[in-house]
Amino acid sequence: MKLEQASRLLNHGPTVLVSTMDGSRRNLMAAAWSMPVEFTPPRIAIVIDKSTFTREQVASTGMLALNIPCRALADLTYTVGSVSGHEDPMPVQDKFDRYGIASFAGPTLGLPLVAGCVGWLECRVIAEPHTEQAYDTFFVEAVSAQSDIRVFADGRWRLDGSHPELHTLHHLGAGLFAVAAETLQARALPR
């Protein structure tokens, strides 16, 4: 897909999975708080708390990937958002190993991307030390973008009844998600 369509993947506020890799050590966490802030180049803001292992990996590598999970991955999303890579007895095991999460290498940065998601963005961090420290908010720029064309093609989501297991997740809190399962085309009101 075209990179200028990358921000559209996040326009409707899906929960994402943030994947990272520092050397051979991988990690994965859930994040509900992300949003696009620019179409071209595609830029995104995302909150990554200081307590997370992801934060450590992002700080040392300057890279992360955003994976957009779907209904079929709700339990995985909740799980990787409830345990920390700080607890992993590496180098033996990480969350991918522990939960049998299949991944493939991102095309530009080689970051681990989660199989079965419906969108994937590899991103480089735009250094904003004050914002990161004060608000745990990172600005990133997407350098590769891919989608499952059954639900996102030509810059548009197709969230109809044909692939209900591929609909995106929207966190309501405490592991409860809403699923984006319907779209409607708005029309301008007559003057």
Binding site residues, ligand FMN, CB under 6 A? 15, 27, 29-33, 47-49, 52-54, 77-78, 81-86, 171
- Cβ-based nearer residue to ligand FMN, 5 or 27: 27
How far is it, in rounded angstroms, from Cα 157 to Cα 153?
A: 7
Query: In the complex, which residue's CB is closest to ligand FMN?
Result: 81
Query: Is residue 157 a contact partner of residue 183, using CB atoms and an 8 Å limit?
Result: yes
- Cβ-based nearer residue to ligand FMN, 5 or 81: 81
- Cβ-based nearer residue to ligand FMN, 76 or 109: 76
Please give the DSSP secondary-structure letter assigned to residue 39. T
Instruction: State the minimum distance, in angstroms, from the CB of residue 59 to ligand FMN.
Output: 12
- Cβ-based nearer residue to ligand FMN, 120 or 138: 138
- Cβ-based nearer residue to ligand FMN, 1 or 76: 76
Q: What is the DSSP string of 96-160?
A: HHHTT--EEE-TTT--EEETT-SEEEEEEEE--HHHHHHH-EEEEEEEEEEE-TTTEETTEE--S
The dihedral sign for the CA sequence 93, 96, 97, 98: positive
- Cβ-based nearer residue to ligand FMN, 80 or 143: 80
Instruction: State the minimum distance, in angstroms, from the CB of residue 175 to ligand FMN.
Output: 6
Paired tokens of 123:
């991103």
Cβ neighbours for 64, distance < 8 A, ≥ 6 positions apart:
18, 19, 20, 46, 48, 54, 57, 58, 111, 123, 125, 138, 140
Instruction: State the minimum distance, in angstroms, from the CB of residue 55 to ligand FMN.
Output: 7
Instruction: State the minimum distance, in angstroms, from the CB of residue 17 to ligand FMN.
Output: 9
Please give the DSSP secondary-structure letter assigned to residue 70. B
Instruction: State the minimum distance, in angstroms, from the CB of residue 46 to ligand FMN.
Output: 7
Cβ neighbours for 161, distance < 8 A, ≥ 6 positions apart:
181
Instruction: State the minimum distance, in angstroms, from the CB of residue 189 to ligand FMN.
Output: 35
